[in-house]
Homo-oligomer: A and B are copies of this chain.
C-alpha cells in the first residue's frame, strides 16, 4: 500500500469555493486535486493499491481531511474541474462532524475531522516519509514493498507544527529542483513502481 498525504496549508475544508476560480477561492485546492490524479490514475485505470489524503487546514471547517481510496474509487476523472467537483460534493457532507475517524461520503471518498492526527490514526503501521529538499535522495532508499506513507507539502511547504505532528519520519528528496506537489507524487509513484518490480524479481 502506498499512501500520499498532501498538506493543504490554507486549502478550504468547506465547500465554499468556486470551480471557475479554484486557485483564487479555495486556498489552492487546485494543487491538491492534481495530486489525486497523479497518485491514483495511470494510463488505463486506477491504482488500486494507492490512497491519497488531502489535509485541508484552511477555512471554517478546518482541520479536516479527505481520503481517496484507489481500491474503491469509481468514476474518477483526471481533469481538475471534475476532481474539484468531487471534492466540493464530498466537503458538503456533515457526516464526519461528530464521527471519530473517516466516514465515507461518496464512493471511495471519506472525510474525517482533523489533519495529521487523523491520517496517522488511519495508517498506524505505515512507514512515514516526509518530503524535504534537504532529505536523503529517494533513489538511495530501499522503498521495498511495504506500507508507506508520504507527507508532501503544498506550494507553501510544511509548517513546523505540521512537521512536529508527523513525528519520527524519514526525510527524503526527489532531486535537485524544487517541484510542484503533483510532480513530486509522480516521481515517487515511479520510484515505487520500479521498486516493486525489483522486489518481485528478488523474491
Given contacts A174-B190, A186-B186, A187-B187, are A43 and B180 in contact (CB under 8 A)?
yes
Chain A, interface SS category: helix
Cβ–Cβ contact A37 & B187, under 8 A: no
CA distance A21 to B175 in the complex (A): 35
A202 at the interface (CB under 8 A from B): no
Seen from chain A, the residues whose Cβ lies within 8 Å of a Cβ on chain B are 20-23, 30-31, 34, 37-38, 41-44, 77-82, 155, 174-180, 182-183, 186-187, 189-190, 193-194, 196-197
Which residues of B sit under 8 angstroms from A194, Cβ to Cβ? 175-176
Number of copies: 2
Cβ–Cβ contact B176 & A22, under 8 A: no
Cβ–Cβ contact B81 & A155, under 8 A: no
Q: Can you report 29 A-B residue pairs in the complex whose CB atoms are below 8 A from each other?
A: A20-B20, A20-B81, A21-B81, A23-B79, A30-B78, A30-B79, A31-B78, A37-B180, A38-B180, A38-B186, A41-B180, A42-B178, A43-B155, A43-B177, A43-B178, A78-B180, A79-B80, A80-B81, A175-B194, A176-B194, A176-B196, A176-B197, A177-B189, A179-B190, A183-B186, A183-B190, A186-B186, A186-B187, A187-B187
